[in-house]
Homo-oligomer: A and B are copies of this chain.
Amino acid sequence: MSLISAINKPLKGIVPPMVTPLNDDGSLDSASVKKLIEHLISGGVHGIFILGTTGEFSGLSYQTRRNLITQTCKQVAGRVPVLVGITDVSIEESIALAEFSVKAGAYATVVAPPFYNNIDQEELTRYYLELADEISIPLFLYNMPSHTKLTIELDTVIKLSSHERIIGLKDSSANAVYFQSLCHAFRDQPNFVLMVGPEEMMAETVLLGGYGGVCGGANLFPKLYVELYEAAVARDFEKIKSCQNIVMEISRNIYQVGQYKSSYMKGLKTSLSFMGLCQDTFAKPLSPFSESEIQQLQSRYDDVVSSLSVSA
């Protein structure tokens, strides 16, 4: 069975942090969830990560989170591994989500540090070890200092990696020195998976030892990111250059409308609505673009789609 085989080798490739389609009343837009999952799988992605930052996990009720876990695992049906974000400030709620994910058939969980209290590396280490002890599903560390106010330091990662259920790390810091330090420290442990969040740096990290990317833009254009990943693996620099160019156009144009701290999230989800893959409805505290911002984004989105056609 595909799930078993997935567990027996380290995860590699493109694992989109899936956007969470929502209805106006905040409930899950199940029809869009289905469409979006099929869109991703048909694009060749190597896994699907739900309830991450891009999945707006923090703004969702627990009921909505559970609904999404259930539906995603059922819809994916073992075709690719499903990773579930269970980041929470309460370890009990994280454990409950983990156990729910096990029953739903998820492959692994992804956990950023508890993000309210300011804590030290020692406390963080103890927290992760205790969480890993309490759950019965693999766990990826999730480094996200811009949101959690602390970095999972290299020495902490090394300590945590000795736990049998801690199998890798997703780094969203954009800090290339940090990521290279990880690649170096784990150079002889090929089963410890090291992926980056920011899609702009995915190719270069794969060239230098990374395992792939949790690329938000892969919600929109999964094939593009899979191609870029494969080009990096194959060291096909002509292909890398053409794909990277479009990835950077997406970054520059889709993710930077308005001066919002959430421009990335707004641009991504609104573009997905242009494709008919979800509504431009956000979990609080985020809110939709204004009408003029939508028009600006539509025009930029059309340009990106044109580049893609030319390139393809």
Contact = CB atoms under 8 A, between A and B. Distances in A.
Interface of A: 26, 53, 58-62, 64, 89-93, 113-120, 123-124, 126-127, 130, 146-147, 149, 174-181, 183-185, 187, 198, 200-201, 203-205, 207-208, 235, 237, 240, 244-245, 248-249, 251-252, 260-262, 265, 283-287
A169 to B, nearest CB: 16
Q: Majority SS of interface residues in chain A?
A: helix
B262 A118 contact: yes
A248 B200 contact: no
B123 A285 contact: yes
A184 B248 contact: yes
Contacts of A198: 176-177
Q: Which of A58, A117, A240 has the most CB of B within 10 A?
A: A117
A146 B124 contact: no
B92 A26 contact: yes
Given A123-B286, A286-B123, A244 B208 contact: yes
A258 to B, nearest CB: 9
A260 B119 CA distance: 7
B204 A177 contact: no
Contacts of A252: 181, 184-185
A308 B64 CA distance: 52
Contacts of A185: 252
B204 A176 contact: yes
A123 B244 CA distance: 33
A7 B261 CA distance: 38
B147 A176 contact: no
B260 A120 contact: yes
Given A176-B204, A177-B201, A58 B116 contact: yes
Q: Among the interface residues A183, A235, A248, A252, which one has the most CB atoms of the partner chain B within 10 A?
A: A248
